[in-house]
C-alpha cells in the first residue's frame, strides 16, 4: 500500500486575471464616455483676468501696446498716429530695434476695448514683421 500523503505537494494558488481585466475595461469605457473633448469655452469668459504662470524665459526686448476702451492705441507709452492698421504698423516698425532678436509685442487691452481694435493691433504687428505677440492679463484676487 502506498501511504504517501499528497498533502506534501502543495498546489500553487491561481490568480485569475479575467475579472480584473473586465473591471479595468468597464472603468476605461466609463472614463471615455464621460470625457469632454470640446475645447471651446462658450460665452462665459472673463477677460482680461486670468491665472498664468510667470514666464521662465527672459525676454530681451518688449514692445508694450496699450488699447484703451475708447480705441486709442499707445505704443511704449506714446500714442499711435492713428487708429488704422497702417498707422499702427508704422509705429510698431519704428519701435522695433534695428539689431538684436525680434521683440515680443505685449498687448495690454482694456476689458471694455472693442475686439476689432485688438485684432487691428495684431494685424499691424504682422504687417510690421513682428510674429511674437502675447497678451497681458491681471490675476484675479485671491489667487
CATH number at residue 92: 3.30.420
In a domain, 135, yes or no: yes
Q: What is the pLDDT of residue 68?
A: 84
In a domain, 40, yes or no: no
Domain extent, residue 129, equals: 59-139
Provide the number of structural domains found in the chain.
1
In a domain, 23, yes or no: no
In a domain, 116, yes or no: yes
The predicted-structure confidence for 66-88, as pLDDT tens digits, reads as follows 888 888 888 888 888 888 899 99
In a domain, 67, yes or no: yes
In a domain, 2, yes or no: no
The answer to whether 138 touches 49, Cβ cutoff 8 Å, is yes
Q: What is the pLDDT of residue 20?
A: 92
Q: What is the pLDDT of residue 47?
A: 47
Which residue has 499702427 as its cell numbers?
A: 88
Q: What is the pLDDT of residue 42?
A: 40
In a domain, 82, yes or no: yes
User: What is the C-alpha separation between 75 and 61, in angstroms, rounded?
Assistant: 14
At residue 14 the predicted structure's pLDDT band, cuts being 50, 70 and 90, is: confident
The predicted-structure confidence for 84-103, as pLDDT tens digits, reads as follows 899 999 998 888 888 888 88
Amino acid at each position: 500500500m502506498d501511504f504517501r500523503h499528497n498533502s506534501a505537494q502543495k498546489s500553487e494558488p491561481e490568480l485569475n486575471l479575467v475579472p480584473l481585466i473586465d473591471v479595468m475595461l468597464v472603468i476605461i469605457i466609463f472614463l471615455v464616455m464621460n470625457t469632454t473633448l470640446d475645447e471651446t469655452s462658450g460665452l462665459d469668459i472673463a477677460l482680461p483676468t486670468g491665472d498664468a504662470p510667470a514666464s521662465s524665459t527672459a525676454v530681451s526686448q518688449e514692445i508694450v501696446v496699450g488699447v484703451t476702451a475708447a480705441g486709442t492705441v499707445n505704443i511704449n507709452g506714446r500714442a499711435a498716429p492713428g487708429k488704422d492698421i497702417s498707422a499702427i504698423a508704422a509705429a510698431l516698425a519704428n519701435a522695433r530695434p534695428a539689431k538684436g532678436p525680434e521683440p515680443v509685442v505685449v498687448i495690454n487691452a482694456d476689458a471694455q476695448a472693442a475686439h476689432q481694435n485688438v485684432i487691428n493691433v495684431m494685424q499691424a504687428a504682422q504687417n510690421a514683421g513682428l510674429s511674437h505677440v502675447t497678451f497681458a492679463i491681471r490675476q484675479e484676487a485671491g489667487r
